[in-house]
Protein backbone atom coordinates (compact mmCIF):
# COMPACT_ATOMS: atom_id res chain seq x y z
CA UNK A 1 0.00 0.00 0.00
CA UNK A 2 2.46 2.54 -1.23
CA UNK A 3 5.00 1.04 1.12
CA UNK A 4 7.40 -1.60 -0.11
CA UNK A 5 8.70 -2.87 3.20
CA UNK A 6 7.95 -6.31 4.50
CA UNK A 7 7.31 -6.54 8.22
CA UNK A 8 8.27 -9.65 10.17
CA UNK A 9 7.68 -10.60 13.77
CA UNK A 10 5.79 -12.78 16.21
CA UNK A 11 2.08 -12.80 16.91
CA UNK A 12 0.54 -11.73 20.22
CA UNK A 13 -3.04 -12.92 19.96
CA UNK A 14 -6.08 -11.28 21.54
CA UNK A 15 -9.83 -11.89 21.15
CA UNK A 16 -12.73 -9.82 19.87
CA UNK A 17 -13.71 -6.29 20.95
CA UNK A 18 -10.37 -5.18 22.41
CA UNK A 19 -11.33 -1.64 23.47
CA UNK A 20 -9.13 1.43 23.78
CA UNK A 21 -9.38 1.36 27.59
CA UNK A 22 -7.62 -2.03 27.43
CA UNK A 23 -5.01 -0.68 25.02
CA UNK A 24 -4.24 2.25 27.34
CA UNK A 25 -6.27 2.84 30.48
CA UNK A 26 -7.80 6.21 31.35
CA UNK A 27 -6.02 6.07 34.69
CA UNK A 28 -2.72 6.70 32.89
CA UNK A 29 -3.45 8.54 29.68
CA UNK A 30 -4.67 11.88 31.02
CA UNK A 31 -1.49 12.83 32.81
CA UNK A 32 1.27 12.78 30.21
CA UNK A 33 2.10 13.04 26.52
CA UNK A 34 5.18 10.81 27.03
CA UNK A 35 4.18 7.81 24.91
CA UNK A 36 7.20 5.74 25.99
CA UNK A 37 6.00 6.03 29.58
CA UNK A 38 2.43 5.14 28.57
CA UNK A 39 3.69 2.23 26.45
CA UNK A 40 4.70 0.44 29.67
CA UNK A 41 0.96 0.09 30.36
CA UNK A 42 -0.07 -1.06 26.88
CA UNK A 43 -2.71 -3.85 27.13
CA UNK A 44 -2.14 -3.97 30.90
CA UNK A 45 -5.71 -4.74 32.00
CA UNK A 46 -6.06 -7.79 29.72
CA UNK A 47 -2.41 -8.94 29.53
CA UNK A 48 -0.32 -7.45 32.38
CA UNK A 49 2.93 -8.87 30.96
CA UNK A 50 2.44 -7.60 27.41
CA UNK A 51 4.71 -4.55 27.64
CA UNK A 52 7.59 -6.62 29.03
CA UNK A 53 7.31 -9.52 26.58
CA UNK A 54 6.66 -7.66 23.32
CA UNK A 55 9.72 -7.36 21.08
CA UNK A 56 10.40 -4.75 18.42
CA UNK A 57 8.63 -5.72 15.20
CA UNK A 58 6.04 -8.01 16.83
CA UNK A 59 2.40 -7.96 15.79
CA UNK A 60 -0.81 -7.58 17.74
CA UNK A 61 -3.33 -10.03 16.26
CA UNK A 62 -7.00 -9.87 17.20
CA UNK A 63 -10.51 -10.83 16.18
CA UNK A 64 -13.38 -8.49 15.40
CA UNK A 65 -13.85 -4.83 16.33
CA UNK A 66 -10.30 -4.11 17.52
CA UNK A 67 -9.97 -0.64 19.07
CA UNK A 68 -13.63 -0.09 19.92
CA UNK A 69 -14.46 2.56 22.49
CA UNK A 70 -12.92 5.97 22.84
CA UNK A 71 -11.28 8.24 20.26
CA UNK A 72 -8.00 8.41 22.21
CA UNK A 73 -5.12 8.67 19.77
CA UNK A 74 -2.89 7.48 22.60
CA UNK A 75 -4.15 3.96 21.71
CA UNK A 76 -2.33 3.56 18.37
CA UNK A 77 0.56 5.67 19.71
CA UNK A 78 1.28 3.42 22.69
CA UNK A 79 1.05 0.33 20.46
CA UNK A 80 3.60 1.90 18.15
CA UNK A 81 5.84 2.99 21.02
CA UNK A 82 5.66 -0.50 22.53
CA UNK A 83 7.49 -1.64 19.39
CA UNK A 84 4.58 -3.27 17.56
CA UNK A 85 4.99 -2.97 13.79
CA UNK A 86 1.37 -3.59 12.78
CA UNK A 87 -2.02 -4.63 14.16
CA UNK A 88 -3.81 -7.45 12.36
CA UNK A 89 -7.52 -7.99 13.02
CA UNK A 90 -10.54 -9.47 11.29
CA UNK A 91 -12.19 -6.05 11.71
CA UNK A 92 -11.48 -2.70 13.34
CA UNK A 93 -13.53 0.00 15.06
CA UNK A 94 -13.54 3.01 12.78
CA UNK A 95 -11.99 5.77 14.93
CA UNK A 96 -9.08 3.55 15.99
CA UNK A 97 -8.51 2.49 12.38
CA UNK A 98 -8.39 6.09 11.20
CA UNK A 99 -6.17 7.17 14.12
CA UNK A 100 -3.72 4.34 13.47
CA UNK A 101 -3.27 5.37 9.83
CA UNK A 102 -2.99 9.02 10.92
CA UNK A 103 -0.14 8.08 13.25
CA UNK A 104 1.59 5.83 10.72
CA UNK A 105 0.75 2.51 12.42
CA UNK A 106 -0.17 -0.09 9.78
CA UNK A 107 -3.54 -1.70 10.50
CA UNK A 108 -4.18 -4.86 8.54
CA UNK A 109 -7.68 -6.19 8.05
CA UNK A 110 -7.46 -9.91 7.25
CA UNK A 111 -8.65 -13.35 8.36
CA UNK A 112 -6.82 -13.86 11.66
CA UNK A 113 -8.43 -17.19 12.57
CA UNK A 114 -5.35 -19.18 11.51
CA UNK A 115 -2.86 -17.30 13.66
CA UNK A 116 -1.84 -18.71 17.05
CA UNK A 117 0.21 -17.02 19.79
CA UNK A 118 3.91 -17.02 18.96
CA UNK A 119 3.46 -17.70 15.23
CA UNK A 120 6.05 -16.05 12.99
CA UNK A 121 4.34 -13.74 10.52
CA UNK A 122 5.35 -11.76 7.48
CA UNK A 123 3.22 -8.78 6.47
CA UNK A 124 3.77 -7.57 2.92
CA UNK A 125 1.96 -4.25 2.63
CA UNK A 126 2.81 -3.67 -1.03
CA UNK A 127 1.60 -7.13 -2.10
CA UNK A 128 -1.36 -6.99 0.30
CA UNK A 129 -0.52 -10.38 1.86
CA UNK A 130 -0.03 -11.79 5.34
CA UNK A 131 2.02 -14.99 5.49
CA UNK A 132 1.95 -17.22 8.53
CA UNK A 133 5.45 -18.71 8.27
CA UNK A 134 4.85 -21.10 11.17
CA UNK A 135 1.76 -22.64 9.59
CA UNK A 136 2.46 -22.05 5.91
CA UNK A 137 -0.75 -20.18 5.15
CA UNK A 138 -1.29 -16.89 3.34
CA UNK A 139 -4.09 -14.36 3.85
CA UNK A 140 -5.19 -11.38 1.74
CA UNK A 141 -5.21 -7.87 3.23
CA UNK A 142 -8.40 -5.85 2.64
CA UNK A 143 -7.46 -2.81 0.50
CA UNK A 144 -7.44 0.69 2.02
CA UNK A 145 -9.23 3.73 0.54
CA UNK A 146 -6.77 5.70 -1.61
CA UNK A 147 -6.56 8.67 0.76
CA UNK A 148 -5.56 6.35 3.60
CA UNK A 149 -2.89 4.69 1.46
CA UNK A 150 -1.46 8.13 0.72
CA UNK A 151 -1.49 9.14 4.40
CA UNK A 152 0.18 5.88 5.45
CA UNK A 153 2.75 6.16 2.65
CA UNK A 154 3.69 9.62 3.94
CA UNK A 155 4.18 8.20 7.45
CA UNK A 156 1.01 9.66 8.93
CA UNK A 157 -1.32 12.64 8.69
CA UNK A 158 1.14 15.16 10.14
CA UNK A 159 3.67 14.52 7.39
CA UNK A 160 0.93 14.20 4.78
CA UNK A 161 -0.38 17.67 5.63
CA UNK A 162 3.11 19.17 5.79
CA UNK A 163 3.66 17.82 2.29
CA UNK A 164 0.29 18.59 0.67
CA UNK A 165 -1.09 21.45 2.80
CA UNK A 166 -4.57 19.90 2.75
CA UNK A 167 -6.54 16.81 1.76
CA UNK A 168 -6.35 15.54 -1.81
CA UNK A 169 -8.67 12.80 -3.04
Partner 1 sequence: MGKTISEKIFSNHTGGDVKAGDLVVSSVDFMMGQDGTSPLAIKAFEEIGGKSVLEPARVAMVIDHSAPSPLEGVSNLHTMMREFAGEQGLCLYDIGMGVCHCLLPEQGHVAPGEIVVGADSHTTTYGAINVFSTGVGSTDLAAAMLTGKLWFKVPPTMRIELKGRLPLGIYSKDVALFLAGRITADGATYMAVEYSGEVIQHLSVEARFTISNMAVEMGAKAGLMEADAKTIEWVAGRVDHPFTPVSPDADADYQKILDFDLSDLSPQVAEPHRVDNVKPVEELEGTPIQEAVIGTCTNGRLEDLQIAAALLGGKRVSPDVRLIVAPASRQVLMKAMDLGIAQRLIEAGAAIVTPGCGPCVGTHNGVPSDGESVISTANRNFKGRMGNPKAFIYLASPATVAASAVAGKITDPRRML
Q: Whose Cβ is closer to partner 1: residue 42's or residue 121's? A: 42
Q: Is 120 in the site for partner 1 (CB under 8 A)?
A: no
Contact call for residues 159 and 103 (beta carbons, < 8 A): no
HSE-up (13 A, CA, CB side) for residue 162: 7
Assess 157 for contact with partner 1 (CB under 8 A).
Answer: yes
Among 6, 46, 137, 142, binds partner 1 (CB under 8 A): 46
Query: Hey, is 158 helix, strand or coil?
Result: helix
Q: What is the distance in angstroms between the CA of the first residue and the CA of the last residue of the chain?
A: 16
Which of the stretches 3-11, 113-121, 126-134, 143-151 binds partner 1 when contact is defined by CB under 8 A? 143-151
Interaction of residue 162 with partner 1, rule CB under 8 A: yes
| Using rule CB under 8 A, residue 142 touches partner 1 | no
Please choose, out of 50-58, 97-105, 114-122, 132-140, the segment that lies near partner 1 by the rule CB under 8 A: 97-105
Interatomic CA distance for residues 60 and 119, integer angstroms: 11
CA torsion angle 152 154 155 158 (round to 10): -110
User: Where are the extended beta strands (E) located within 59-136?
Assistant: 59-62, 86-89, 107-109, 120-124, 129-132
- CA–CA separation, 115 vs 61, rounded Å? 8
- Minimum CB separation of residue 111 from partner 1 in Å reads 16
Q: How many residues sit close enough to partner 1 to count as binding (CB under 8 A)? A: 44
- The residue from 39, 58, 102, 131 that contacts partner 1 (CB under 8 A) is 102
List residues near partner 1 by CB under 8 A.
Answer: 17, 19, 21-22, 25-27, 29-33, 44-46, 64-65, 68-74, 77, 91, 93-95, 98-99, 102-103, 145-147, 156-158, 161-162, 166-167, 169
Amino acid sequence: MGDSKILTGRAHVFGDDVNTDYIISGRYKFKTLDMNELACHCMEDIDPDFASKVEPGDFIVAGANFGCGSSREQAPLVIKHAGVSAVLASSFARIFFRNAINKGLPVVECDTSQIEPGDDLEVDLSEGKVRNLTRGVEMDIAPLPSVMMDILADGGLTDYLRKHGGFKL
